[in-house]
């Protein structure tokens, strides 16, 4: 018989971990909670990601010995704001916050399920070796995953417990994303006395944005300008303006093509008004798409059925730690945890979803 996760204890663990303050780069108390629960049972190590990103904690790696090929389970410790003083309550089978903070089921539901899994693991028969990677600063750019110590990781495939779909769903494809900052340089002049001498940088930025194709470009590509700033006063022709935006695509060549389009519109707008523009792009994350025979997809299918769930595979629209892991050569999918309205004060999770998540984690650990 397989060891079962204790439902009441799981719910208690979730409430405890949800109550800990821990936005990106401030995960110290979350990391200490996990260590205090697990370090008597399994080796727990912390990498240097905290120093690398100027945070107060690194990623935690819990190594659980077993038989066969090791797999990696990932959950992030940070939550978005407002996350100070989270008070949980259970109503109509749902766990929710008091309404003035997020709940933080994203991703503390996964943290709780994995802590409970680790405590139950010693009693599970025919269990493969497990590595639990609790990452920092996922919400602010996947920084923990990007700075993790992969020399210590032996898992040949990974399951990132971080999708908002219900348990049973898995995200097997995600877009790549590039972020742009463009700074337009014009020339300042008195707007009333000698406007002829000025070159208006805000006008440059505006005409660049006006001619860019933005929004949904095609079924797998999007573009956005989300920030604009510049200027000093109404009577000064602005010499500087800045825009920030992003491009996402599931298709790397479409991503590159849309990046080129945005570059062109920026340069054209600057040139037409006699100014210039500096453009800098940074890669946020790389796209991935796993086929149906990929090891984590195949294991997920078997494990979901063993847990009484019908496996469903979807493409996602955002980045997660799985983008970083896939780019590092560890085939990874993101599994649904059942959090609803994440990143809002209406966030909630069904107690039944939390239990299903823990059962699914057990099945992934033990299904042949």
Q: Which residues are catalytic?
A: 78, 138
Residues in the chain: 368
Among 27, 47, 78, 106, binds Zn ion (CB under 5 A): 106
Would you say 177 and 319 are in contact if contact means Cβ atoms under 8 Å apart?
Answer: yes
Nearer to Zn ion, 82 or 252 (CB): 82
Q: Which stretch binds Zn ion (CB under 5 A): 19-27, 100-108, 248-256, 267-275?
A: 100-108
Nearer to Zn ion, 297 or 334 (CB): 334
Nearer to Zn ion, 108 or 250 (CB): 108
Q: Would residue 338 be called left, alpha or beta, if left means φ above 0 and alpha means ψ between -120 and 50 degrees?
A: left
Q: Which stretch binds Zn ion (CB under 5 A): 25-33, 102-110, 228-236, 268-276?
A: 102-110
Nearer to Zn ion, 130 or 137 (CB): 137
Site size with Zn ion, rule: CB under 5 A: 3
Q: Which stretch binds Zn ion (CB under 5 A): 8-16, 50-58, 154-162, 229-237?
A: 154-162
Among 27, 78, 107, 119, binds Zn ion (CB under 5 A): 107
Nearer to Zn ion, 42 or 73 (CB): 73
Residue 33: phi, psi to the nearest 5? -60, -50
The rounded distance, in Å, linking the Cα atoms of 55 and 38 is 22
Regarding 131 and contact with Zn ion (CB under 5 A), the answer is no
Q: How far is the CB of 318 from Zn ion (least distance, A)?
A: 9
Q: Which stretch binds Zn ion (CB under 5 A): 21-29, 99-107, 152-160, 209-217?
A: 99-107
Q: Would you tell me which residues interact with Zn ion (CB under 5 A)?
A: 106-107, 162
């Amino acid at each position: 018989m397989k060891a079962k996760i204790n439902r009441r204890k799981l719910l208690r663990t979730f409430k405890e971990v949800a109550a800990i303050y821990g936005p990106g780069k401030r995960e110290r108390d979350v990391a200490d909670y996990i260590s205090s629960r697990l370090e008597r049972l399994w080796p727990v190590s912390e990498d240097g990601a905290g120093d690398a990103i100027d945070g107060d904690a690194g990623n935690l790696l819990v190594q659980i010995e077993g038989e066969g090929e090791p797999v990696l389970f990932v959950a992030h410790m940070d939550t978005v704001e407002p996350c100070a003083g989270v008070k949980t309550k259970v109503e109509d089978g749902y766990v929710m916050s008091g309404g003035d903070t997020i709940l933080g089921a994203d991703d503390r539901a996964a943290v709780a399920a994995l802590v409970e899994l680790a405590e139950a693991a010693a009693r599970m028969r025919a269990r493969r070796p497990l590595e639990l990677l609790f990452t920092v600063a996922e919400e602010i750019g996947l920084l923990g995953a990007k700075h993790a110590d992969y020399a210590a990781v032996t898992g040949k495939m990974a399951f990132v417990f971080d999708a908002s779909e219900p348990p049973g769903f898995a995200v097997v494809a995600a877009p790549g994303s590039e972020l742009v900052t463009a700074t337009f340089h014009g020339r300042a002049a008195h707007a009333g006395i000698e406007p002829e001498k000025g070159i208006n940088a805000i006008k440059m930025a505006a005409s660049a944005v006006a001619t860019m194709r933005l929004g949904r470009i095609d079924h797998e590509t999007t573009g956005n300008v989300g920030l604009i700033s510049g200027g000093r006063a109404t009577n000064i022709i602005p010499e500087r303006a800045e825009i920030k935006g992003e491009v996402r695509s599931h298709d790397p060549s479409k991503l590159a093509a849309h990046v080129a389009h945005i570059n062109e519109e920026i340069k054209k707008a600057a040139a037409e008004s006699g100014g210039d523009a500096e453009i800098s792009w940074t890669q946020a994350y790389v796209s991935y798409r796993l086929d149906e025979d990929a090891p984590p997809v195949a294991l997920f299918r078997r494990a979901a059925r063993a847990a009484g769930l019908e496996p469903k595979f979807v493409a996602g629209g955002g980045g997660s730690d799985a983008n970083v892991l896939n780019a590092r050569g560890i085939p990874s999918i993101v599994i649904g945890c059942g959090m609803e309205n994440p990143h809002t004060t209406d966030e909630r999770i069904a107690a039944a979803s939390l239990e299903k998540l823990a059962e699914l984690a057990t099945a992934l650990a033990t299904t042949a």
